[in-house]
Structure 1
Amino acid sequence: MSTLTTEVEDFAAAMRSDAFRRDPYPVYARMRAECPVYRAPQGLWYVTRHADVEQALGDPRLSNDRERMTDALVARDGRMRDLSRLTARLGRVMSNTDPPDHARLRGLVNKAFTARRVEGLRERIQAVVDRLVDAAVAALEPGGPPTDLLTAVASPLPHTVVCELFGVPEPDRERVKEWFRGLGRIHEDIDRAERVVDAFEAYLLDLVERRRAAPGDDLISALVTAQARGDRLTDHELLSTCFMLITAGDETTTNLIGNGLLALLHHPDQLALLRAEPALIRAAVDETVRYDSPTQAILRVTAADVTLGGRTIPAGDLVHLLLASAGRDPEHHEHPDRFDLTRPAHRHLGFGHGPHFCLGAPLARLETELAIGTLVRRLPDLRPAVDPGRLDWRPNPLQRRLTALPVTCTSDDDTSDERK
């Protein structure tokens, strides 16, 4: 057996281990050093170095087309047929298309989801953050039991903001939250997920019709009226875009807030620096995306033979672009395993690159800045309640998310006034 084959088998096994789920970065470091572009025994390719990932993200031969991806997934594993059929119902949104369809869809959505619209949400997002942090502060009595900041702040914030953004009426929001949870378990129960999609689709279609009849100051109204050169989103494209913005914004932002809080809590020198210099909050968000990316990898399928890192990937193969590994590449980031808020602003790939750069990145940044900034200001005596090695992570190779982030506060009376 060749050394390369042994290494590949070792990596494939490592990525299925509990140790990898807790901390994937030592495995990524070995992959970058020993086999930066490699094919696992199951047939999947993995790309690990910053330069190769960046090249792949800008290469049109690395396709994100839903139909092409579905064909490749089903060819690899027939059990994916039902899941692919369900995800295909969500349609040809811009994140699941290639040029020229992608440019058309993104141009239309950009007219509705503008930087001005996102910035206009700042006060409303801050009000939501304040309500959530008020409840967390009330629960965090000095010397009392831990509070889970994922449940208290990181998870409900993006859900509430998305509902505000889409103009979902208050009485419907708990039902929408349950649909979010159902879509998050799409791999576990296809039949249940299909019922969730049915119900959610019917609800969104009704909301769209109401906005057509009486437009408001919300994103659905803006999507309904967006047009370019006489072109508009079809009903199917509109529903699919809503699905994409709702589900992607919820998951990614929750992960980003949780991972950022965890990194700060376990790097007290950087937490102290942020408290002393609150203007570093933007740097803290970018450093979190680089250091512990909420989106670990994105999947592409080759539309033609592609050479990356000296290896040729045949047409029709599935490729994982490891954004998280690229963020720790020492060829691009000095001292990559160090969490450092003063790091020079080197470009990271955590929000993607090229035509598919994350549309929701400004909103995710804003929510994370306000959530972490408020918690750091309001709770100067915050402490992790569990050693990082004992924290549990969800078993999702594409997303990195804690199951809980328990924290406590000290009983130092000198800090009590700052917590109000």
Structure 2
Amino acid sequence: MSGVAVTADVGDFAAVMQSDAFRRDPYPTYARMRAECPVYRAPQGVWYVTRHADVEQALGDLRLSNDRERMTGALVARDGRMRDLSRLAARLGRVMSNTDPPDHARLRGLVNKAFTARRVEGLRGRVQEVVDRLVDDAVDAVATRRGAGADGSVDLLAAVASPLPHTVVCELFGIPDGDRDRVKEWFRGLGRIHEDIDRAERVVDEFEAYLSALAEKRRADPGDDLISALVTAQARGDRLTDHELLSTCFLLITAGDETTTNLIGNGVLALLRHPDQLARLRAEPALIRTAVDEIVRYDTPSQAIVRVAAEDVPLGGCTLPAGDLVFLLLASAGRDPDRHEDPDRLDLGRPAHRHLGFGHGPHFCLGAPLARLEAELAIGTLVRRLPDLRLAVAPEELQWRPNPLQRRLTALPVTYTSVRERK
């Protein structure tokens, strides 16, 4: 059959995704879809896949393509915002996330040589230094405001969750200190792709021009950074074109910033809303490693991955026609009771690595080890140093950005009265 009946409860899911209620809590809608229309075709000819087993199967099926040309064509065939997004899909070039085999394996293999596990683990000490400095600054800012008789709260996204991955990724890629504020502004523009397509296109142009100039400097004077490593690989004849070099740097820099920010923010919020698990982590600090994976499962920053059917693909009792867009809902898969016992409960002792939050198959997230490291150190330090950390507003006052692919708060106001050690 070509589809599953749509219930009145779900309705037009594309419209539902834009509602304030869905942004605040998408998981009841996902639960209805898993139960009533797990492979659902919306009126716009877009498919939404919600069960863990189906999402996992789809992520490993190379007939569900991530090729830039196919993706651009599928977006152009739709109306409204999806057609607008096709302009960005066409601009982003041939990077790992926009290619199929054999190009994907070639590009990923080259990046793997530069982005090694040893390089990531070697960052642990430096990441901890950055975290400690950011927490010190946040503590000082709150103390200053309280001393002036003002509100004693701080936006944890702005104070810690956003500047940490930005600083780390800039250091990894050798971006000079004097350029980092400008790069941050570009990141902010890209983070609002779904709000302002024109601005995002301008950001892509400006950032690629900047990276091109930086790559030329590294060719003349290589350093111990990822751009230098990729330029060196290109010089060895490892089949990396200039455009692929720029697009790969663009992907790694931007992906490493936004997703990790959201992971830290969503993780702290999840713990603050589950005081029993927060107390458990304080009592057992070694749980932080499994805690990060549980947070990714419970409220993943990457809500969905988009593919396009390169041919007719059977999935979950349906046939996905060639040319149709397919949203693989990682967030829904993370709450699937067929995969996870009591899935709506945050459980920091749950076995790690059984979720799809970092993807699966050939496109598994290359930056997952770095994201885990940054989240472990950021969340672990906040939990240890701020023993009475709590929300400064009611949970229902928190606002979420209107991006169906990324789940991010606009701000996370927190407060505290006591601080343990200072670094």
Q: TM-score, normalised by structure 1?
A: 0.94
Query: 2:120 matched to which residue of 1?
Result: 118
Aligned-residue offset at 1:230? 4.4
Determine the C-alpha separation between the residues in 2 that align with 1:21 and 1:193: 22
The whole-number CA distance in structure 2 between the counterparts of 1:81 and 1:338 is 38
Distance 1:416 1:109 in 2: 41
CA–CA separation in structure 2 for the residues paired with 1:194 and 1:270: 42
Change (3 A) 1:419 1:362: same
1:81 Cα deviation after fit: 4.9
Q: CA 1:417 to 1:36, structure 2 compared with 1: closer, same or farther past 3 Å?
A: closer
Seen in structure 2, the aligned counterparts of structure 1 residues 308 and 180 have a Cα distance that, compared at 3 Å, is same
Compared with structure 1, are the counterparts of its residues 208 and 182 closer, same or farther at alpha carbon in structure 2 (3 Å cutoff)? same
Task: Tell me if 1:297 matches 2:304.
Answer: yes
How much has 1:136 moved relative to structure 2? 1.1
Task: Tell me which residue corresponds to 1:127.
Answer: 129
Matched, 1:232 2:239: yes
- Aligned CA RMSD, in angstroms, stands at 2.0
CA distance in 1, matches of 2:170, 2:420: 34
When residues 79 and 253 of structure 1 are mapped into structure 2, their CA distance, relative to the original with a 3 A threshold, is closer
Provide Cα deviations, 1:63-96, integer angstroms capped at 9, x if missing partner: 0001100000001127655542343222100110
Aligned to 2:140: 138
Tell me how far apart the structure 2 counterparts of residues 296 and 34 of structure 1 sit (CA, whole Å). 20
Query: 1:372 & 1:74 partners in 2: Cα distance?
Result: 41
| Matched residue type, 2:298 | Y
In the alignment, what sits opposite 1:70? 72
Is the contact made by 1:149 and 1:407 (CA closer than 8 Å) also made in structure 2? yes
TM-score by length of 2: 0.93
The answer (yes or no) to whether the contact 1:8–1:40 under 8 Å persists in 2 is no
Are 1:153 and 2:160 matched, yes or no?
A: yes
Give ranges in structure 2 of 5+ residues lacking alignment.
none
- Residues 1:189 and 1:21: Cα distance change in structure 2 (over 3 Å): closer
Range moving further from structure 2, 209-218 or 77-86: 77-86
Partner of 2:290: 283
Is residue 58–residue 355 contact of structure 1 (8 Å, CA) maintained in 2?
yes
Match of residue 106, structure 2, among 98, 101, 104: 104
Distance 1:59 1:229, change over 3 A: farther
Q: Which residue of 2 aligns with 1:218?
A: 225
Q: What residue in structure 2 maps to residue 88 of structure 1? A: 90
Query: C-alpha deviations, 1:249-299, integer Å up to 9, x for none?
Result: 111000000000001111111111111111111111000100000000010
Q: 1:6: which partner in 2?
A: 8
Q: Cα–Cα, structure 1 residues 303 and 417, in superposed 2: closer, same or farther, change >3 Å? A: closer
Residue 368 of structure 1 is matched in structure 2 by 375
Asked if the contact 1:37/1:309 (under 8 Å) is kept, the reply is: yes
Give, as a single letter, the amino acid of the residue that structure 2 aligns with 1:318: L
> 1:232 aligns to what SS in structure 2?
coil
Q: Which amino acid in the other structure matches residue 31 of structure 1?
A: M
Which residue of structure 2 aligns with residue 321 of structure 1? 328
Name the amino acid aligned to 1:304: E
Distance 1:240 1:368, change over 3 A: same
1:389–1:190 distance in 2 versus 1, CA, 3 Å: closer
Taking the aligned partners of 1:188 and 1:130, their CA distance within structure 2 comes to: 34
Who is 1:41 aligned against? 43
1:209-249 deviation line (CA, Å, top 9, x unaligned): 11111111101011111269942311110100011011111
Structure 1 residues 19, 403: CA separation in 2 closer, same or farther (over 3 Å shift)? same
Percentage of identical aligned residues: 84
Query: What are the Cα deviations for residues 2-32 of structure 1, in whole angstroms up to 9, with x where unaligned?
Result: 9736355264543332111100000000000
Count of residue pairs the alignment pairs up = 415
Residue 253 (1) aligns with residue 260 (2): yes
- Residues 30-59 of structure 1, C-alpha deviations (whole Å, 9 max, x = no match): 000111111112221100000000000000
Contact kept, 8 Å, 1:128 with 1:157, in 2: the verdict is: yes
Name structure 1 gaps, 5 residues minimum.
none
Q: What is the alpha-carbon distance in structure 1 between the residues aligned to residue 324 and residue 312 of structure 2? A: 9
Q: Which residue of 2 aligns with 1:355?
A: 362
Give the aligned partner of residue 58 of structure 2. Answer: 56
Q: Secondary structure at the match of 2:346?
A: coil
Q: CA deviation at 1:144?
A: 4.7
The alignment partner of 2:77 has SS state of helix
1:60 offset after TM fit, Å?
Answer: 0.6
- Give the structure 1 partner of residue 24 of structure 2: 22
Aligned amino acid, residue 344 of structure 2 = D
Distance 1:202 1:11, change over 3 A: closer
- Three-state SS of the structure 2 residue aligned to 1:56 is helix
